[in-house]
Amino acid sequence: MIVLVSLGLMLALHQFVTRTKYGMAMRAMAYDYLVIPLMGVSINRVAAMTFAIGSALAAAAGILFGLAYPVLDPYMGVSFGWKAFVAAILGGRGSIMGACIAGFMLGFIEIMTVPAIQIVNRLFELNIGSNLRDLIAYSIVLLILIFRPHGLFGEAYSSKLRL
């Protein structure tokens, strides 16, 4: 259920960003925020809409996490926030579907790391703990970003300051 709801929310976000005027304004603001007021679009309104959508998606993620793992801890979302940040970078700048695919890829790497560690432990009689899965997953992501610094689905862009 969590995967289906997550995919539905990501598809809805993708449709919103690519097919509505506010989505076009969000994309334009991400590209060059100084030109947006010249087109008659309120920066404050677009920023407020962006934060409202982001907060709503974070609330949905919190509800889904709370349904799956009924634990209440003030720091329970910190590691997921970092993983979402890494998935967004790995997916590419401005690519919602890239972030979605990168998030699933990061999750797959983390899940498959534990059995791989157990196989290595049995073959070489080592005692490597499975709590290294984050380290191994982030190392793989780092290797990917070394060869594709703009992400899997991002486009190479100039980092010149627009003044």
pLDDT digits (tens, 9 = 90+) for 5-15: 999 999 999 99
Tokens for 31, please give them.
């590209």
How far is it, in rounded angstroms, from Cα 44 to Cα 67? 34
What is the reported pLDDT for 57?
94
Residues 94-119, mean pLDDT to the nearest whole number:
89
Closest CA to 83 of 53, 66, 104, 114: 104
Asked if residue 80 lies in contact with residue 64, where contact means CB atoms within 8 angstroms, the answer is no
Check residue 163 and give its pLDDT: 47
Q: Is the pLDDT of residue 143 over 50?
A: yes
**Per the structure block, which two tokens stand in for 130?**
């499975």
Assess whether pLDDT exceeds 50 at residue 145. Answer: yes
pLDDT confidence of residue 157? 65
Query: How confident is residue 17, by pLDDT bands cut at 50, 70 and 90?
Result: very high
In the predicted model, what is the mean pLDDT of residues 75-96?
Answer: 87
Rounded-to-integer distance, Cα 108 and Cα 141, Å: 12
The band of 51, judged by pLDDT with boundaries at 50, 70 and 90, is very high
The yes-or-no verdict on residue 162 having pLDDT over 70 is no
